[in-house]
Amino acid sequence: ASGNPRLSLSGPRKLVPPNPDNPYAAGDNQTNAQAAQLFTGKKLSGVNFVLYGQYCPDLSQCFEVSIDNAISSARIFGVWAFYAGYGYGVNDDLEVSWVWGKDYHYDFSELNDMVSSLRFIGPENDFLADSITLYSQEYFKAWEYFVATDMQRLPDWEYFANSAAVTGASPWTIYEFDFFQGKSLCLFPAPDGNPGLFPTKQTMGLSVIMSVRKGCYSNVRLSPIQLRKNQITSSRNVTKRSLDVQQ
């Protein structure tokens, strides 16, 4: 398929057996697959649970026991967003934190014992592959549309795009009309293989998006906010800024 409208808020609820030594043991052991190991205590202590290439819209229901508002630390492979609200923040104005890394361990600060849902950002099996994901609300919240190749139209996408994420090495051109027509601009990944995150409407520059093309075919080129590997960022700490146009 040319595009994947991951629009369902229910998400997968498959129980993945916890494995503190190797989160990939629950899957097919792909080096860059998305995985998150969640711990109820600080410094990777306490009871732990693993999501391997899966979303969790409600931490009270994704596992055999509820761990809603009980996560204090995590071990991350890939790019992940953690939400204080259920359903990836679809009906709330609560905080979001996001992080990317490979076997990165960290303790939650702002969202300590406050996480209620989480999902990965970008491709399921390779978080370094080229992709762009559009979100209907700022800070990667609510409905999303995942794209891995040129899309002359975005079927089933009926929302304004108020944030976006770019993974891989390629920029993407977004257009306000079908068939790559109308106003356009390029969204770039960050340097050194870091994902390019555009968490607000202002950082994106275009909210009505009807087609998407891999590569840069516009004179307007936008760079993402700064995101370092193995560093967690919170929506509380991101300020809406003017568009950063690359010359």
Q: Which of 60, 88, 120 is the last residue of a domain?
A: 120
Is 247 domain-assigned? no
CB contact set of 103 (below 8 Å; sequence gap of 6+): 75, 76, 77
- Using alpha carbons only, how large is the chain's radius of gyration in Å? 17
Is 1 domain-assigned? no
Note whether 143 and 220 are same-domain residues. yes
What pLDDT, on a 0 to 100 scale, did the predictor assign at position 228?
65
Note whether 34 and 97 are same-domain residues. yes
Q: What is the mean pLDDT of each run of 10 residues along the chain (247 residues)?
A: 38 35 45 91 93 92 93 94 93 89 89 94 91 93 92 86 94 96 96 88 90 97 78 69 36
State the pTM of this model.
0.85
What pLDDT, on a 0 to 100 scale, did the predictor assign at position 230?
61
Note whether 99 and 145 are same-domain residues. no
CA gap 214, 201 in Å, rounded: 21
CATH classification of the domain holding 86: 2.60.20.10
Note whether 14 and 75 are same-domain residues. yes
Is 33 domain-assigned? yes
Number of structural domains (the chain) is: 2
Note whether 220 and 135 are same-domain residues. yes
Note whether 166 and 110 are same-domain residues. no
What is the extent of the structural domain holding 86? 8-120
Is 246 domain-assigned? no
Note whether 114 and 20 are same-domain residues. yes
Note whether 12 and 33 are same-domain residues. yes
CA-nearest of 21, 51, 57, 17 to 37 is 51
Is 125 domain-assigned? no
